[in-house]
């Protein structure tokens, strides 16, 4: 049977008149747009992009002279994908920005339906308070701020604290589910003893009678020292993945699932002199260099990377890494959402 698609010209006065009548009734012909909206593989306007920390840091410190953390509410430079101009997005679903809190400052408390994570790029000992518990922050730590939890930031140290923010802003906006609330108190009351969540959930133990399980991890600070030690042990005791080296995700201590339902953070070690095989997946991913030097090839772009740099790999774009030294990368994406919806897919290149 001949399956050849019959081509019909729609550029006729008859079709033009018909389309005009459709438009008046707020309906439209699918056949005009079908191949644009249901594509044979992912098509994203997002582009590979790289933000060297040596370029961003002076601009961030300049912002610190122009506006206070309290005046700005959040003194953040948005990492805007060049393919998504003026959308405050780094991928189609995610926001990323770099935030500064100077010594003596407080970023006042608020809460919002958007979930957030913070990967600390610089500083030691400043704090963030989430849902009544105060956490100290050190370079390489991951801090979670689940949806609708009060949070504020304090810097009582003598040096700036800088971190990478990741939020699901675009995803929440797509669902028309954005809410935000401010408080008449700059800082929330600390109601939980220091290290409460870590004591309860940080030793591969959980309380026997712990109540309902939340989609959000009850453990909200993941120290870099522990993650780095685990990667180092795995480097010498396990086979390296050809596409990732050693890649681990941060896990919900009660379920083993991702730590939040909309944002999935992970960390990987590409051992010195390893060039990974090409890899692509449907989740556009944001990366920050935690340690070491190397290069990332993303599509046709190649980025030379140093500690604290941030870069993005759009959905379904081939990527590979070459490590000049042991190369540690923090990453986050919307993979948890895609997995729950049965949409996530990956493809691995041929190993040399």
Distance CA 39, CA 282 (A): 13
pTM beyond 0.85, yes or no: yes
Domain annotation covers residue 18: no
Cβ contacts of 251 within 8 Å, gap of 6 or more? 217, 257, 258, 259
Domain annotation covers residue 173: yes
Q: Can you give the residue range of the structural domain that contains 306?
A: 49-348
Domain annotation covers residue 145: yes
Q: How confident is the model at residue 91 (pLDDT cuts 50, 70, 90)?
A: very high
Domain annotation covers residue 14: no
Structurally, the chain folds into a number of domains equal to 1
Least confident of 7-16, 63-72, 105-114, 257-266: 7-16
Whole-number pLDDT of residue 1: 43
Domain annotation covers residue 37: no
- E strand or H helix that includes residue 170: helix 169-174
Domain annotation covers residue 196: yes
* Torsion from C-alpha of 246, 252, 258, 263, nearest 10 degrees: -110
Domain annotation covers residue 156: yes
Whole-number pLDDT of residue 6: 62
% of the chain residues with pLDDT over 90: 96
246 has a pLDDT exceeding 60 = yes
Structure tokens at 275: 């060039």
Distance CA 37, CA 31 (A): 10
Q: How confident is the model at residue 328 (pLDDT cuts 50, 70, 90)?
A: very high
Domain annotation covers residue 237: yes
Residue 199 contacts residue 242 (beta carbons within 8 Å): no
What CATH number corresponds to the domain at position 127? 2.60.120.10
Distance CA 131, CA 203 (A): 21
3-state class (DSSP) for residue 99: strand
């Amino acid at each position: 049977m001949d399956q050849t698609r019959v081509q019909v010209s729609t550029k006729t006065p008859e079709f033009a008149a018909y389309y005009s009548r459709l438009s008046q009734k707020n309906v439209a012909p699918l056949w005009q747009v079908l191949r644009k909206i249901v594509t044979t593989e992912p098509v994203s306007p997002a582009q590979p992009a790289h933000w060297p920390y040596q370029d961003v840091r002076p601009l961030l410190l300049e912002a610190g002279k122009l506006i206070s953390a309290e005046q700005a509410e959040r003194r953040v430079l948005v990492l805007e994908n060049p393919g998504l101009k003026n959308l405050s997005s780094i991928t189609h679903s995610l926001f990323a920005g770099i935030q500064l809190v100077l010594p003596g400052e407080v970023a006042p408390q608020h809460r919002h339906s958007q979930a957030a994570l913070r990967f600390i790029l610089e500083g030691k000992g400043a704090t963030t308070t989430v849902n009544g518990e105060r956490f100290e922050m050190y370079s390489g730590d991951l801090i979670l701020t689940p949806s609708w939890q009060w949070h504020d930031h304090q810097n009582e140290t003598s040096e700036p604290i800088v971190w990478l923010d990741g939020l699901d802003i675009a995803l929440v906006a797509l669902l028309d589910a954005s809410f935000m609330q401010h408080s008449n108190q700059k800082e929330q009351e600390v109601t939980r003893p220091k290290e409460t969540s870590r004591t309860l959930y940080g030793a591969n133990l959980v309380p026997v009678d712990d109540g309902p399980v939340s989609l959000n991890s009850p453990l909200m600070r993941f120290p870099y020292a522990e993650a780095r030690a685990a990667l180092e042990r795995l480097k010498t005791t396990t086979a390296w993945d050809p596409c990732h080296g050693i890649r681990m995700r941060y896990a919900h201590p009660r379920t083993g699932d991702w730590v939040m339902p909309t944002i999935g953070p992970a960390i990987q070690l590409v051992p010195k002199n390893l060039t990974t095989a090409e890899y692509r997946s449907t989740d556009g991913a944001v990366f920050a260099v935690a340690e070491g030097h190397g290069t990332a090839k993303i599509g046709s772009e190649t980025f030379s990377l140093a500690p604290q740099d941030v870069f993005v790999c759009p959905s379904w774009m081939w990527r590979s890494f070459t490590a000049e030294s042991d190369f540690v990368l923090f990453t986050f994406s919307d993979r948890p959402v895609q997995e729950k919806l049965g949409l996530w897919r990956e493809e691995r290149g041929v190993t040399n």
